Amino acid sequence: MSKINIGKPDMLGYCGDLEVAIWYDFQPFEESTHNYPGCNPEVTVTCVQYNGCDITDGVGCDKDEWDSVEDQAMEHAENRGEPNWAGEVDRYFRAFVEPRAD
């Protein structure tokens, strides 16, 4: 394990009894439209560190621990209120482009 510095983590969480730093990418929920299928929220854990050492591969070997880290990241992202820019664009599109049914 090597020590790496990739900037401030997205969150602190737990892997078993260890407090770890977690980095992740978050894709928020996007509504479907007549020309876009939309998507469910999804989190991708990109790095897990303990004391500055990358333990991502080791955590990934244990499915239960990995699932726990992903669940913590998803909860963090949803509680943080990640902006849903696609949803905002969709609302704009519906309001100004699609014909209204009056």
Angle CA 57–7–41, to nearest 5: 65
Q: How far apart are CA 18 and CA 66, in angstroms?
A: 13
Enumerate the β-bridge partners of residue 12.
21
Sorted by where each begins, the domain ranges of the chain are 11-96
Tell me how crowded residue 49 is: count the other CB atoms within 10 A of its CB: 19
User: Is the pLDDT score of 97 beyond 70?
Assistant: no
Question: Which helix (H) or strand (E) element contains residue 93?
Answer: helix 85-96
The pLDDT, as a whole number, for residue 1 is 53
Span 50-94, pLDDT tens digits: 988 999 998 877 889 999 999 999 999 988 865 555 555 555 445
More confident residue, 99 or 21: 21
Q: How confident is the model at residue 3 (pLDDT cuts 50, 70, 90)?
A: low
Question: How far from 68 is each of 6, 31, 60, 76, CA to CA, in Å?
Answer: 22, 27, 11, 12
Span 21-61, pLDDT tens digits: 999 999 888 888 888 898 898 999 999 999 889 999 988 77
